[in-house]
Structure 1
Amino acid sequence: MIDYKIELEEMVSKKNLMNSYKLYFLKAILINVSPIRKTFTFNQMACWMVAYSFEDVCHLQKRIRPLDKLFDIAVLAIEEEDLMESSSVAKVCMILEKTTNPKICKELRSLCNYVPYRLLAYRWQNELKGRTDKEKNLLLEQLSQS
């Protein structure tokens, strides 16, 4: 079993150069994939990533890693969607999935720019070669659904 408090401390450590997205991406997949539910959108993935990181970034009161945007989205959600730092994972996810706030939607989309690519790209190296990041992400989403 993964002890997320220990993992969080490792991520915050200056010795660790990885970013935190991968942990929350993996957590979202492990918790939300089942024999019944095998597919979801990148937007749903981003909402889950933020929801699972929400308590951690609120507790830390700062970014988990220097360039992570999870903290920024948590702050936006608190300020513009009336979430509280104590909001549950389910509530955070539901609010983010239903939001029409353009700033939050843009930030959610940006979370999925690189994480899925890094985890899935090895399977389709020839198809992705020479494409822009945006093209790769769109193609990865299509290929992952096939």
Structure 2
Amino acid sequence: MTDVEIDPPSVRRRSRLRQAQMALLLVLAIYLIAAYLLLPALWTHYEHQKGLANLPMVTRTAQGIPGDPMNVGLIGDKRDVVCAMHEAGWFPADPVTLKSSIEIVGSVLLDRPYKDAPVSNLFYLDRREDLAFERPVGSSAD
């Protein structure tokens, strides 16, 4: 007669827990390798307009700090662009002046709208934007 040892339930539970931990660690390692090494190495961007392929797609502030991403560029007569944007609910931003600065402070403090509040200048390829538009959201400029 042979001596057969049967593992107690606590030993089997620890064994299953250890297997689950190892499986979780393996899944995590596969995810990290795929997300941070494999997929970025395989990612390519196909640009339909070859002239845009090597251009930066982010504006910059006057100090060179990255600003907003390029969303849309409009080409056309200034009057037509302003009319189309106004029709869509967007308003040309006021220039930054003492008067507009006082108005924006009043808008925030008094919780009143300022649909054409000034915005900071942004530059693209060392050129300031020709027009800046904004769409009011909420009851004040804050």
TM-score, shorter chain, exceeding 0.5: no
* Higher-helix-fraction structure: 1
- Interval of TM-score (by shorter of Structure 1 and Structure 2): under 0.3
TM-score computed with the length of structure 1 as normaliser? 0.23
TM-score computed with the length of structure 2 as normaliser? 0.24
- Whose radius of gyration is greater, 1 or 2? 2
Higher RCO (CA < 8 A, seq sep 6+): 1
